[in-house]
Structure 1
Amino acid sequence: MAHLWSPFTLGGKPLPHRLAMAAMTRGRALPDGTPHPDAAIYYGQRAGLGLLIAEGTQPSADGQGYLSTPGIYTDAHVAGWQRVADAVHERKALLFIQLMHVGRMGHPENTPHHRQMLAPSAIAAGVDIFTAEGMKPAPIPREMSSGDIRQTIVDFAAAARRAIDAGADGVEIHAANGYLLHQFLAANANHRDDAYGGDSLRRVRFPLEVAAAVAKVIGPQHVGIRISPGLKIGGIAEGEETPEVYRHLVRQLSRLQLAYLHITHAGDEDHLASLRQDWHGPLVVNRPGRARSDIGEDIAAGVADVVSVGRMALANTDLVERLKTEQPLNEANPATFYGGGAAGYIDYPMMEAAAAQSA
C-alpha cells in the first residue's frame, strides 16, 4: 500500500497521493437541482482524498433521470457548486464535477419537463427506476435525431463552462455505467444506421465529439472521462467486440491530451493492460468491491497512476489517515445512500469519535 502515498500531478495540478474519491450519486439536491447546502460539508469532509470526483450531475434537463440529482446548467446550480468548490479548495483538494446524461436510464417523472427520455435508439433499458410514486419500469426512450445529438454536445460543453465558472478544477465526462454515452458504444443499445451507429468506429463518434467539444471550451487539462468496458449494467451487454471498440475509443481520446482516463474495471485484465498502453496520460482505475488490502496493487503493478474508491470514502471522511495507520473502517449504510438528510451523509464518525463510541 506504500505506493499509494507518493505525490502525483494530474491536469498540471499536484495531488498529495494516488487515492481519489469516485463519483457517487447521493440524491440530496434541492428540488431545482441546486446542490444541497450540506453538499459543501460532505465534500469538504472528504478533501483529504486529494481528488474528489463529484456525483453525477446533469448537463441539461434532458439529462436527468433520477430524483434529486444536481444539475450544472442554471445560475442557481453554479452558485450551489461554488459553495462546494470553496469548501474543497479550503482544504487544498481538487474538485472535478462528473457530467452525467442518463439517456434511457431514467423516468420522465423525475425530470423538470417530464419529456420522454433520449437515447441512441428506441430500446428500453429493461430496468426499474425509483420515482416519487415508487419503482417504475424505465420507459422506451425516443431515438435521438441529429439535432438532438448536436444539442446534447452543446449542452455538455456549456455545462463544463459553468462548472469552471463555479470554481471546479475540471469535469469528468461520464461515458460508463449504462448511461447515454455508454449506450452509444454498446451494439445492443445502439441500432442506428447513420454516422453514430453501426460498426464500432461509428459508435464511438458521439463520445469522442462530446469530449472534443468539452476540451475545446475549458481546455483538455480540465477534462477527465470515465468508461466501463464490458460492464453489464443498465441493460448494456457488450460482446466480443468490446476490446476493439474501447481500444479505438481510447486511442482517439488520447490525442485530446485530457487530464485523465478513469476506468471502471470489469475483470478483463488483458484488456485493462492494453488500454494502459493505448492511453498516453494519467490513468485512474476503479475496481468495485476491491478489498482494503488490495487498494494499492494496480499502482504497484504499473496498471494505474491513481485509484478511486467509492463506499470507503462515503463512510470514512478520514480514509487516508485510517489506511496509513491501519485503523478500522466505518461500514457504509446502504439505507442512507440515496436521498434523506444528514444521516448517512455528513455524520459518519472520525477515528477519535469512533474509538470513543466503541469504548
Structure 2
Amino acid sequence: MDNAMNGTQPLLDTYRLGRLHLPNRVVMAPMTRLRADRDGVPGDLMADYYAQRAGAGLIVSEGIAPDVPGQQFLVEPGLYTQAQVRGWRRVTDAVHAAGGRIFAQIMHAGRGGHPANRPDGGTPVAPSAVSRTDLVHTLDGKVEPVTPRAMTVAEITATVAAYAEAARSALLAGFDGVEIHGANGYLPHQFLADNTNLRTDSYGGGVAGRIRFPVEVTEAVADAVGADRVGLRLSPGNSQFEMVERDPGPVYRELLRQLAPLGLAYLHVTDDPVHPALDEARRDWTGTLVGNTGEHAPTTPESAAALIAEGRADLVSVGRAFISNPDAVERVAAGVPWAPIREKDFHYTSGARGYVDYPRHDEGAEPRGEGLLAAPLT
C-alpha cells in the first residue's frame, strides 16, 4: 500500500487497493439516480455522468439489481441481461478513458421492492414477511408498500447465485470490481437485523443464522471474480428504512471474523450516531476500511480529511458532494469549496438537469444546459 500521508491534505495521498493504484483517498459513494431506461439499460447520459467524476480515487456505482426480484425501481440499472451489460460497458469505457476506476455496487432491494417497480410485476421477497410502512416511489407517484414473501431456502440459494453471476457480468461490462450492498436496509441487512429476520431455520435465529446469507453471498462473489476485486458495504445499527438492530456489535463482529480470511478489497462502513460502527470496524477489520459519515451529516473536505488523518479510515466515501461537484477532488487540490446542490427535485428525474449539468470549478458557475425534464419522484 502507498501509505505515506500527504502532510497538507491527506485526501490527496495515493493508495494501493488490490490491483488498483488510487491517485487519492476519495471514493465516490454509490447514489441512486434513476437514469437507466425501462429495461434497466444505462445510456450515454449515465456514461457522461460517471466520466465527469473520474477524478475520484474510486467510483462505486449506484446500486445495480442482480436479478428481477432484486429490482427496486423500474428505471434502476441491472446486470442480468446482455443489453444491460453492453450499456454498462459504455459507462466503464468512458470512465477509464477519463482516467478513472469504477466498481459496480450489486444491490438487492428485498422487501424494498414493489410489483409496480418490477418488470414482471412480482411480489418482493425478503427473509421474512415483514413489510415497511413508508410509501414507495413509483413512476406514477407514491404508493402503499406490499408485504414481501418470505424466501424459501431454494430461493435463497438462487439469490446467492444471482449475486455471483452479476459480479461476473460486471467484469464483462468492464468494471474494475464489485461492491456488495449489505447496508442501509437492503437484502443482506434484512437478514442481519432483528425486526426483518424472524426465521427459525438455519438462516435466522442467533448470530450464526443471521450472518449466513451475507457470508454465502460474499464467498460466492469472491469465488466468482476474485476476493481482491470485491468490497462489502455494511451499516451496523443503521435504522434507515425502519431497520432495528438492538445489539449489532456481536453480530457484525462475527460476520467480519468469518469474512476476514477471504482477503476482500475493502470493507465500506456507514457510521451511525448511536452505534460506533466505524470505530468498531477499525478495531475488528485488518484490511482496507472505507469510512462514510455522510448518512446523518453532510461530509465536508475537512471532516473527510480528518477521518484519514486520525486513522479512522483508509479511504473516505463521499456522496452528495459528488452530485454538485463533478470535480470534487480537483476542488480539494485547488482549495476551492464544494458547491452546494442546486435543485434537489432533480435527483431522481430522467433528464440531464441536476445530473450532468453541474460545472467544474474552472468552467464558471452557470449550468451546462437545461437538459430533458421529467416529473420528480419526490
Which TM-score band applies after superposition, normalised by the shorter structure?
A: over 0.9
In the alignment, does 2:26 pair up with 1:19? yes
C-alpha distance in 1 between matches for 2:15 and 2:187: 31
Seen in structure 2, the aligned counterparts of structure 1 residues 71 and 356 have a Cα distance that, compared at 3 Å, is closer
C-alpha distance in 2 between matches for 1:278 and 1:101: 26
In the alignment, does 2:364 pair up with 1:346? no
Indicate conservation of the 8 Å contact 2:55/2:329, yes or no. yes
- Give the structure-1-normalised TM-score: 0.96
C-alpha distance in 2 between matches for 1:113 and 1:92: 38
| Bigger Cα displacement from structure 2, 347-356 vs 140-149 | 347-356
Corresponding letter in the other structure for 2:269? I
Aligned residue in 2 for 1:238: 245
C-alpha distance in 2 between matches for 1:73 and 1:110: 16
1:133-157 Cα distance to aligned partner (Å, 9 max, x none): 3111221000000011000001000
Seen in structure 2, the aligned counterparts of structure 1 residues 331 and 178 have a Cα distance that, compared at 3 Å, is same
Indicate conservation of the 8 Å contact 1:67/1:130, yes or no. no
Aligned residue in 1 for 2:158: 151
In the alignment, does 2:295 pair up with 1:252? no
Q: Which residue, out of 89, 94, 99, partners 1:92?
A: 99
Corresponding letter in the other structure for 1:309? V
Q: Which residue, out of 291, 306, 312, partners 1:303?
A: 312
C-alpha distance in 2 between matches for 1:300 and 1:16: 17
Aligned residue in 1 for 2:131: 124
Task: Give the structure, 1 or 2, with the largest relative contact order (CA under 8 Å, sep 6 or more).
Answer: 1
Unpaired runs of 5+ residues, structure 1, are: none
Unpaired runs of 5+ residues, structure 2, are: 1-7, 368-378
Aligned residue in 2 for 1:37: 44
C-alpha distance in 2 between matches for 1:46 and 1:92: 10
Q: Which residue, out of 294, 303, 319, partners 1:294?
A: 303
Name the SS of the counterpart of 2:241 in structure 1.
Answer: coil
Aligned residue in 2 for 1:176: 183
Indicate conservation of the 8 Å contact 2:237/2:277, yes or no. no
C-alpha distance in 1 between matches for 2:322 and 2:95: 15
Alignment of 1:175-324 (within 5 A): 175-239=182-246, 241-267=247-273, 270-288=276-294, 289-324=298-333
C-alpha distance in 2 between matches for 1:291 and 1:47: 19
- 1:256 shift after superposition: 1.1
C-alpha distance in 2 between matches for 1:238 and 1:290: 25
C-alpha distance in 2 between matches for 1:32 and 1:104: 21
Corresponding letter in the other structure for 2:272? A
C-alpha distance in 1 between matches for 2:201 and 2:179: 27
C-alpha distance in 1 between matches for 2:99 and 2:220: 29
| Bigger Cα displacement from structure 2, 267-276 vs 100-109 | 267-276
Q: Which residue, out of 54, 72, 78, partners 1:71?
A: 78
Corresponding letter in the other structure for 2:319? G
Indicate conservation of the 8 Å contact 1:58/1:69, yes or no. yes
C-alpha distance in 2 between matches for 1:194 and 1:115: 25
Seen in structure 2, the aligned counterparts of structure 1 residues 271 and 159 have a Cα distance that, compared at 3 Å, is closer
C-alpha distance in 1 between matches for 2:280 and 2:356: 39
1:3-42 Cα distance to aligned partner (Å, 9 max, x none): 1111101122100010010000001101111112211110
Corresponding letter in the other structure for 1:338? Y
Name the SS of the counterpart of 1:226 in structure 2.
Answer: strand
How many residues are aligned here? 356
- 1:271 shift after superposition: 4.2
1:202-240 Cα distance to aligned partner (Å, 9 max, x none): 10110000000000011001110100111111110111x
Percent identity of the aligned residues? 45
Indicate conservation of the 8 Å contact 2:31/2:61, yes or no. yes
Indicate conservation of the 8 Å contact 1:20/1:306, yes or no. yes
- 1:105 shift after superposition: 0.7
- 1:356 shift after superposition: 7.2
Seen in structure 2, the aligned counterparts of structure 1 residues 271 and 30 have a Cα distance that, compared at 3 Å, is closer
Indicate conservation of the 8 Å contact 2:270/2:277, yes or no. no
1:263-307 Cα distance to aligned partner (Å, 9 max, x none): 011125754223212212111011112233211111111110000
- Give the structure-2-normalised TM-score: 0.91
| Bigger Cα displacement from structure 2, 265-274 vs 209-218 | 265-274
C-alpha distance in 1 between matches for 2:40 and 2:101: 22
